[in-house]
Structure 1
Amino acid sequence: MNNPTPTLGPGDLQPGHSPDAPRGFVARLRNYFLTGLIVAGPIAITFYLTWWFVTWVDGIVRPFVPVAYRPETYLPFGLPGSGLVVAVFALTFLGFLTANLIGRSLVELGEAILGRMPVVRAIYRGLKQVFETLFSSTGSSFRRVGLVEFPSPGMWSIVLISQPPNLEVATRLPGKEEFISVFLPCAPNPTTGFFFYVPKSKIIEVEMNAEEAATLIMSAGVVQPNGDAQKKVNALAEMANAARVATASQIPPTPAKVD
């Protein structure tokens, strides 16, 4: 007896139909979207932050620029960045004036006036020291990166190494070991964190600059320093291994010696 040919139901596979076709098409669309997001996301955020900074500086500087010297007075549209240009020239000119005797005298006079204000004095001196430390061409603060065992034994955190403590603090720290101040940035916002003194022997310095450390912290470890170089090294190692395997496969086997 001949077996009857089975009939295909609506949910069964039809000839020439692949169950992975719709899933593969959707997966490709998703990959294309994620690829576009990876490419456009950093560019869009960078342009947004740049635009925010430029407009913020324009909003501060523009009220001090006379109307006759504003670009929008002569143009039918506003010119973003004009305030930033004025600010750069003004700061450069201020630095030029400060470099001579008259400028230094005016700065000393202003500092003397601020030094007589109880609350403003502390704020000004602290901010001045921070700016002198960060923007000094010879300073070493926050230019070295290290590892500190924090928050518990066996867990290591990235820190920016700063300066040794002053005499008052150093004499009150326990032990005779030399201490140094460090700043531990928090992820993903490295502008906040913890400041503390740690023994110098407890810090492991790493070959990494402050910019690479900030990138590592902001990305929560996703973007590793020298990632491209590591990828190239791995690729070269794989190529060498593949060439070694190919060479070994082309060598004919040595015939066994018969006595």
Structure 2
Amino acid sequence: MKKYIIAGLLAWLPLAITVWVLRWVINLLESVFDVLVQGAAAILPLSTHDVLHQLVEIPGVGVAILLSLLLLTGIFVTNFVGQWSLRQWDALVSRIPIVKSIYTSVKQVSDTLFSSSGQAFREAVLVPYPHAGSLTIAFVTGRPSGTVAEHLDGEYVSLYVPTTPNPTSGFFLMMRRADVIPLAMSVDEALKYIISMGVVAPTAEGLASAPQTTRPAGL
């Protein structure tokens, strides 16, 4: 009986987790939409409040409106006028005390992570961590710069070493490029490998590393 229960669990678990994640995302979008509706109700005439409350009651309307808003915003900010408007908005927010520190920091991180021209999380590598006798998968996030780079002798790279099975926490490291082993593995494959604690192994091609000359001495 135990064997059959486990087999049934394995059959339903992927679907159950998928549904749970989708429900979490939808509930999050609906919550954001509720906040926007409440803000709109505070500035719009009372005659519009009934319509706003009816929109909130219709399932899926909030998700559809927010996705449409994101799409239209993306189209707007990718043209000349939108980019100019975005720069003016950034300049305005950057003049507000306290707010500018939070906004600027979040914007720098989000631009680095999600920009199509950025290089963050574009390369999976092997690094000697937590000691020289072991290896783990890390992601190249860039190169040290500023006053940090002035104290480094040679070529270094910035790395993010995620924890398992939760890759949203981890460690930031700076290592010599010569001590980093490039992997012919996509970021998605590497994340699956990390989250599954090594159970979901990538393809043989994905595990192929760079030439032996790039391996750190002693490994």
Q: Secondary structure of 2:142's partner?
A: coil
Q: Secondary structure of 2:98's partner?
A: helix
TM score, norm. by length of structure 1:
0.68
Larger Rg: 1
- The number of aligned residues is 195
RMSD, aligned CA: 2.4
Which of 32, 35, 52 in structure 2 is aligned with 1:60? Answer: 32
Amino acid at match of 1:167: G
Q: Secondary structure of 1:157's partner?
A: strand
Aligned to 2:184: 207
Structure 1 distance, partners of 2:107, 2:173, is 21
Q: Secondary structure of 1:221's partner?
A: coil
- State the Cα distance separating 1:101 from its structure 2 match: 4.4
Structure 1 distance, partners of 2:78, 2:135, is 44
**Compared with structure 1, are the counterparts of its residues 71 and 225 closer, same or farther at alpha carbon in structure 2 (3 Å cutoff)?**
farther
Which of 94, 98, 111 in structure 1 is aligned with 2:90? Answer: 111
TM score, norm. by length of structure 2:
0.79
Identity %: 31
- State the Cα distance separating 1:149 from its structure 2 match: 0.4
Q: Which runs of 5+ in 2 are unaligned?
A: 38-48, 208-219
Query: Taking CA–CA contacts closer than 8 Å with sequence separation of 6 or more, which of the two structures ends up with the larger relative contact order?
Result: 2
Aligned to 2:77: 98
Aligned to 1:45: 17
- State the Cα distance separating 1:137 from its structure 2 match: 2.2
Identify the range of structure 1 (85-94 vs 95-104) with the bigger mean alpha-carbon deviation.
Answer: 95-104
- State the Cα distance separating 1:67 from its structure 2 match: 4.7
Aligned to 1:86: 65
Q: Secondary structure of 2:131's partner?
A: coil
Which of 160, 167, 178 in structure 2 is aligned with 1:190? Answer: 167
Aligned to 2:110: 131
Q: Which runs of 5+ in 1 are unaligned?
A: 1-28, 231-259
In the TM superposition, 1:1-20 aligns within 5 A as none
- State the Cα distance separating 1:214 from its structure 2 match: 1.3
Identify the range of structure 1 (184-193 vs 30-39) with the bigger mean alpha-carbon deviation.
Answer: 30-39
Q: Secondary structure of 2:136's partner?
A: strand
Amino acid at match of 1:32: Y
